[in-house]
Amino acid sequence: MFKGLRWRLTLLYGLVGLVLIALIGGGTYQLLNVYFLATADIALDGRAALELMLLGAEVPRDLDSAVEEFSTNTPVALFAGENEDESNDDESEDAEHDFEDGPFNSELATVFVVPLDAAGNTLLVNANLPIVPDIEAVQSALINGIDRRTIDVDGTRVRLLTLTVDTESDLALLQLGRTLRDQDRVQDQLLVGLVVLGAVSVLLLGLGSWILAGRSLQPAQKAWGRQRTFIANASHELRTPLTLIRASSEVAQRSLSDLDRREFLNDVIVQSDHVNRLIEDLLLLSRLDTGRLELKKQVIAVPELLADLERQMGHVVSEKNITLTIDTNVQHLEADRTRLWQVLLIMTDNAHRHTPSGGAITVSA
């Protein structure tokens, strides 16, 4: 009994632990993904703000924070692969040098910029573009002014920022992108680590749950053991004097001629048998609780068994004007006659107690 309960407690503890591990691991993975996307968006916003300021175009309000963060840095060239004007003065060269040494250079350098016309066609000539311009992002940007999305390019995720540009030239949109390959690699490594750590945690959790369940059940096991020992000892100690009382009463009853005294001793014998049956029932319940009740099966004639039940219980139920009916189509079955008889008596007695006067009890097989 306790072994099965220990397994159930172990499974319960393990399930709770697994849920916690899944929540912590999944939450960590998702937070890292959100962080990487936010980092990519910051880099895209900063590069977009710099490009718009270089063009003299209005910077959307969505990029105000990027303007504040990156305004102290000198803008870089507008388009990847564009030849810089060699006539820049010394001040411009110093400013560019300052920017290359700035804290955001490594972030902005990973961002590619593609100029587009209103139809979504690139304005770069003979340029080796990292991706084909995303038309859905272009259409969304033309409607909303700005569009952010993550697309898949040959199995690699790319974070895109597409926004409209108000200029008098053919330039209508800028589509900026940043690959998430490195971020995905870090997340994949984290996922592998979480799986390995989760597997080890499950093993340790299972072992810990088994030990914890065992310790939790130790007081109950000790109490149950003491109860079983008490029942066994008490039954043995009680049955011996009862046997002596019954035997002495039978001997005394046979030697007495006084009818009243014989009747008194007969009551003693009946009560001794009653107490002995209570002790047997106590032992029976103990065996049932421990699962050690042995059934001695044999072939039983069902009509005869139910006929005995009707004969013995018939006069009891008739006192309340209750009708006892036996209905069976079964001739034989394999069962423990003693235990089956106990069950039938208990059920019939319960029915007798809870059936109103004038009612009926039917026993069918």
Give the number of other CB atoms < 10 A from CB of residue 303.
14
Here the tokens at position 307 are 């006929």
Mean pLDDT of 92-120: 58
State residue 88's pLDDT score. Answer: 41
Place of tokens 């699962």: 291
What per-residue confidence (pLDDT) applies to 104? Answer: 44
Does position 94 have pLDDT exceeding 60, yes or no? no
Cα gap 110→125, rounded to integer Å: 21
All structural domains of the chain with their residue ranges? 298-364
Q: Going by C-beta distance under 8 Å and a sequence separation of 6 or more, which residues neighbour residue 205?
A: 13, 14, 17, 18, 21
pLDDT bin (cut points 50, 70, 90) of residue 301 is: very high
Q: Is the pLDDT higher at 306 or at 92? A: 306
Beta pairing class for 112-116 and 173-179: antiparallel
Query: What b/e string do you get for 17-53 counting C-beta neighbours within 10 Å, with b at 16 or more?
Result: beeebeeebeeeeeeeeeebbeebebbbbbbbbbbbb
Asked if residue 139 has pLDDT above 60, the reply is: yes
Query: What would the CATH number be for the domain defined by 298-364?
Result: 3.30.565.10
What's residue 99's pLDDT? 35
Say how far apart CA 282 and CA 232 lie, in whole Å: 9
Tens-place pLDDT, residues 184-240: 888 888 888 888 888 888 788 888 878 877 777 778 777 777 777 777 677 767 777
